[in-house]
């Protein structure tokens, strides 16, 4: 049964890449909206989980407000997919004009200093598009990490897709990814990581919207070991076709403390920036999984609550994966 599900998942993704990218853009947009509304109307587990997560993000939300946000959230989520399926067909000019980030000087100044730069993002809007903008508008290659998806053919499909967009994709398994990332940073390169959810036992506990969760330690440890700048980035959509974003000021390495203490402090600072961006644009935070430790502790026996459906992460070693295999 598992093998059948894997083949179906791979076939659906293949159909998406083969078909959606060929549709006229208005048709693709309309299709994405209809799919989002159909899924939302069914009120399945993913939609209910999204609303439960948003209830922690929005102050004193009414049930009506949560439903409005979750409906907008599913439309944002499907916009991500429709864009991602079509990204390989976009011209350099189209890709460069489809993202408008603020304070890019934090990134360009960091790269010019040859220190190396780590961009850390939450699961907001379309981080694949942000990555394409970096490679095509700035002409800067970068390295990311992907956990193996099931089936293997689906993982190969996603790796080929991201490599076609100009990303260097490292497999998370095998223990070599961290060392390669460190070498890229010491050479003055760019590393991009999605870092708002940790599925491993080695994540750093942080306070996030007033409750405890874990986030990946990797960004903070890489910054400490290599001297690279650690820059949080938040993304969002508005009513236009151009995605918006903010490159935030660097998260500095504390001047004193043990490595664990520094890592904890930096990861908490990263979580605080993420929370600020998510609070401003909650509908663009695609968190359809359990996140807070209290929810993970309450999950039914035999269910880890990690799967939100088949969405491999963008540039990151953290991972929200189809079958629960991504870790930080």
Residues in the chain: 328
Q: Alpha-carbon torsion 225, 138, 281, 41, what sign?
A: negative
Dump pLDDT digits (tens) for 94-128.
Answer: 999 999 999 999 999 999 999 999 999 999 999 99
Q: Is the pLDDT of residue 322 over 70?
A: no
pLDDT at 74: 97
Q: Distances in Å between the alpha carbon of 297 and those of 48, 269, 292? A: 18, 25, 9
Percent of the chain with pLDDT over 70: 82
pLDDT digits (tens, 9 = 90+) for 80-91: 999 988 888 889
22 Cβ contact list (under 8 Å, min separation 6): none
Q: What is the pLDDT of residue 298?
A: 67
What per-residue confidence (pLDDT) applies to 310?
40
Rounded to the nearest integer, the mean pLDDT of the chain is 85
CA-CA-CA-CA torsion sign (53, 59, 61, 67)? negative
User: Which of 68-82, 114-128, 223-237, 292-306 bottoms out in mean pLDDT, i.e. has the lowest?
Assistant: 292-306
Query: pLDDT tens digit string along 249-285?
Result: 999 999 999 999 999 999 999 999 999 999 999 999 9
pLDDT tens per residue across span 181-199: 999 999 999 999 999 998 5
Q: How many CB atoms lie within 10 A of CB 310?
A: 18
The confidence score (pLDDT) of residue 15 equals 72
Q: Please give the C-alpha separations between residue 94 and each of 87, 98, 113, 136, 241, in angstroms, as whole numbers.
A: 9, 6, 29, 10, 11
307 in Cβ contact with 315 (< 8 Å): no
Q: Supply the pLDDT for residue 68.
A: 96
pLDDT at 161 over 50: yes
Q: Of 33-42, 142-151, 318-327, where does the model show the most confidence?
A: 33-42
| Mean pLDDT of the 293-303 span | 68
């Amino acid at each position: 049964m598992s093998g059948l599900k894997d083949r179906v998942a791979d076939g659906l993704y293949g159909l998406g890449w083969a078909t959606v990218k060929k549709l006229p853009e208005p048709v693709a947009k309309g299709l994405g909206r209809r799919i989002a509304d159909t899924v939302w109307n069914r009120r399945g587990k993913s939609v209910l989980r999204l609303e439960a997560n948003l209830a922690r993000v929005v102050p004193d939300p009414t049930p009506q407000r949560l439903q409005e946000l979750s409906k907008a959230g599913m439309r944002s989520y499907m916009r991500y997919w429709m864009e991602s399926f079509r990204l390989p067909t976009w011209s350099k000019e189209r890709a460069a004009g489809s993202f408008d980030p603020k304070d890019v000087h934090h990134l360009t100044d960091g790269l010019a200093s040859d220190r190396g730069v780590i961009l850390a993002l939450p699961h907001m809007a379309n981080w694949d598009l942000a990555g394409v903008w970096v490679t095509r508008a700035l002409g800067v290659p970068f390295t990311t990490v992907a956990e193996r998806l099931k089936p293997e053919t689906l993982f190969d499909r996603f790796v080929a897709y991201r490599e076609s967009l100009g990303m260097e994709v490292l497999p998370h398994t095998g223990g070599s990814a961290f060392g390669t990332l460190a070498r890229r940073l010491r050479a003055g390169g760019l590393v991009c990581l999605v870092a708002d959810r940790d599925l491993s036992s080695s994540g750093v506990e942080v306070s996030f919207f007033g409750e405890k969760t874990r986030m990946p330690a990797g960004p903070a440890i890489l910054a400490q070991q290599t001297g690279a700048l650690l820059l949080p980035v938040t993304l969002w959509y508005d009513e236009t076709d151009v995605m918006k974003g903010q490159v935030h000021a660097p998260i500095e390495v504390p001047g004193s403390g043990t490595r664990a203490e520094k890592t904890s402090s930096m990861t908490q600072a990263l979580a605080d920036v993420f929370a600020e961006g998510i609070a401003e644009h909650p509908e663009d935070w695609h968190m359809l999984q359990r996140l807070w430790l209290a929810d993970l502790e309450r999950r039914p026996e035999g269910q880890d609550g990690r799967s939100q459906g088949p969405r491999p992460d963008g540039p990151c070693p953290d991972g929200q994966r189809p079958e629960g295999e991504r870790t930080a």
